[in-house]
Structure 1
């Protein structure tokens, strides 16, 4: 079991990684709220070549605020790939904590202080919709059923007790991301968050869930698609079978 590197080492400095694709109208208000809630945190906007000018706006905001950084990618390669690029950027610098946050405003920056505080007793803190005190606002019932069902399926298939395993509002101590092999993390949709969670568990790190309020985006369109959901269903099933097979082999060897 890995000994969690907590306590005296602290969690600062903090970097919030925000992937963007066509989020021009959401980005400015989000960063304003974030720096009002936590003025000292730094931000990395990872833009996948947004045709609506999100990347150009991010550059303008970065010129006005030294705590805002921008990474420009030339193609829309998926949420997971953008996060991995952001993680690598953070690990090449001295950030102690790396945060995942959506650009569409569904993750309230005002909840981030509590998510960060939870790292006092954990290595990964997840902003959870599905623990007591968590909630969703203005989400279509179909999306909520899909999310809850996907989480239940993943927990059963993988034998992991995290209730909001697909959540995208997270804070990692840098030691977690240093330990994980980011090259093997599945990079699409649901799969990315689930895969990161299972690798974090398997590496022996401590995970805590913090209740948050998740609010459906007001501006723009969701990037979720049926193909992403189908891929997640198949991948999680395969991962679950492999985990059970590995456990069975260990039991046989011990016997």
Structure 2
């Protein structure tokens, strides 16, 4: 009897890189060790001056499960993932994943995300802030900033998610095909929030699983403080739009109920004459 075909049987792990020469062989090796042969890797390199792109080509030449997409210049994380998504969709993958190159997302935990996809989820987020999730080697100031920022985002957007800025994710292809990826906001890392809120608003099944986020050991973080201000400003705008829509829908619902009540009252009055 043949095994049941699962969406995760055709999974692509997208790993954007910029100056990740030391980290790249480590993360690709961990992915290949942790996951079955049905999982492939796409390295999206932004013309790294340290030779990461050349190393990616060498890794791909030695392993048929590794692919490389070269971009001209440093186009940002959002652009790298959008290119990676399109490459994966064109190649026929059924699940597409986001993963950092620096080891902060443990490949050994990717099976947790893929299992939820196979159980019916459209988007699964590896969360630091639900029960069982944690961060390792983060300064308390950064943890507090991220935690409070996510609380604010959750309250503002009413999405019911604890870690909307998280970048460890697994998407069903049907979700990515349905979303207007060319309309995503790319202020800072806000595109992650944008993808999650659009998925929730469209009625897709979005779930979180606990993961351990480990601060990079090799290289420097590419995140600067400006993203917080830019991102929260965008989220505030979305939050106001979300609340306005809620009020508008509530008024419309009450209006419809009032009209229906008046019609029924008139009908009953005529019936008793």
Note if 1:18 corresponds to 2:5.
Answer: no
| Native 8 Å contact 1:78 1:188 kept in 2 | no
Match for residue 36 of structure 1? 33
Quote the Cα distance in structure 2 between the aligned partners of 1:218 and 1:39: 26
Residue 192 of structure 1: how far off its partner (Å):
1.2
Residue 202 of structure 1: how far off its partner (Å):
1.1
| Native 8 Å contact 1:17 1:86 kept in 2 | yes
Residue 251 of structure 1: how far off its partner (Å):
2.0
| Native 8 Å contact 1:78 1:189 kept in 2 | no
Quote the Cα distance in structure 2 between the aligned partners of 1:229 and 1:130: 18
User: 3-state SS of the aligned residue for 1:219?
Assistant: coil
Gaps of 5+ in 1: 1-6
Q: TM-score when scaled to structure 1?
A: 0.94
User: 3-state SS of the aligned residue for 1:121?
Assistant: coil
Residue 129 of structure 1: how far off its partner (Å):
0.8
Match for residue 81 of structure 2? 83
Quote the Cα distance in structure 1 between the aligned partners of 2:188 and 2:230: 9
Residue 189 of structure 1: how far off its partner (Å):
3.5
Residue 53 of structure 1: how far off its partner (Å):
0.8
The root-mean-square deviation of aligned C-alpha atoms, in Å, is: 1.3
Paired residues, number? 249
Residue 8 of structure 1: how far off its partner (Å):
6.7
Match for residue 160 of structure 1? 159
2:116 to 118, 122, 144: 118
Match for residue 194 of structure 2? 195
Residue 91 of structure 1: how far off its partner (Å):
1.1
User: 3-state SS of the aligned residue for 1:71?
Assistant: strand
Quote the Cα distance in structure 1 between the aligned partners of 2:234 and 2:70: 29
| Native 8 Å contact 2:93 2:173 kept in 1 | yes
User: 3-state SS of the aligned residue for 2:227?
Assistant: helix
Quote the Cα distance in structure 2 between the aligned partners of 1:212 and 1:98: 18
1:103 to 101, 105, 112: 101
Match for residue 4 of structure 1? none
The aligned runs of 1:1-255 (5 Å cut-off) are 10-40=7-37, 41-119=39-117, 120-254=119-253, 255=255
| Native 8 Å contact 1:18 1:45 kept in 2 | yes
Residue 248 of structure 1: how far off its partner (Å):
1.6
Q: Which has the larger radius of gyration?
A: 2
Residue 190 of structure 1: how far off its partner (Å):
3.0
Closer, same or farther in 2 for the Cα pair 1:43/1:188, shift >3 Å? farther
Q: TM-score when scaled to structure 2?
A: 0.88
Residue 187 of structure 1: how far off its partner (Å):
2.2
Moved more, 155-164 or 242-251: 242-251
